[in-house]
Amino acid sequence: MSEINYQALREAAERAIPAMERLLMLPADDDLLSEQELKDYGVDIDALNAFKFLAGPETVLALLDERERNQQYIKSRDQENEDIALTVGKLRVELEAAKSKLNEQREYYEGVISDGSKRIAELESGSQAQKLVEAIIVAIENEQERLFDEDYLMDSKECIDVIREEVKRWDDSRAAGIGIKGE
């Protein structure tokens, strides 16, 4: 029997229950009772026969086979669900790690962009070398004006000395943390 009519089996079992209860209430010393005697006791012989026909060994074996298949199916689904849960857990861990790494990279690149912006602004406002040159030119012009007022022409050695002094003053100021005008 490969196909079970569950509804018919259920109805036959429901009808057979009262008949089985009546059979169990009969005195145990009654060896054999005829069909008529059973009917006289109120036992529904037709319900018992219908149930016996529907619930034979083939039906019981088919039900047990179906139950076993269902249990195997449930077991495989449980394993699939467990595998999915493990995968989801791993993906969550990977997602959190990726988010963390992304935040670290974002912070790093925000710092790089900020530093780059500052450096660009610094370069646009003039470089350190340009500031040094401008400071030297100012010092030379001041020295030339002083010497010109004294009617003295500056020779190249004195010009170089003035430049060296200005560079040394500038280096000393930077080492001391003192900003030079325009810096």
At 21-60, the pLDDT tens digits run 777 676 666 566 667 777 776 778 788 788 788 887 788 8
- Rounded alpha-carbon distances, angstroms, from residue 82 to 7, 68, 89: 35, 21, 10
pLDDT digits (tens, 9 = 90+) for 106-151: 898 888 888 888 877 766 665 666 677 777 777 777 777 776 666 5
Four-CA torsion 72, 77, 83, 86, nearest 10 degrees = -120
Whole-structure pTM over 0.75, yes or no? Answer: no
Which pLDDT score is estimated for 70?
A: 93
Place of tokens 């710092």: 111
Which pLDDT score is estimated for 28?
A: 61
Q: Indicate if the pLDDT at residue 180 is higher than 60.
A: no
Instruction: List the chain domain ranges.
Output: 6-79, 126-173
Please, where are the H alpha helices in 43-180?
A: 45-54, 57-125, 128-149, 156-175
CA distance 62 to 68: 10
Q: Indicate if the pLDDT at residue 81 is higher than 70.
A: yes
Helix, strand, or coil (residue 182)? coil
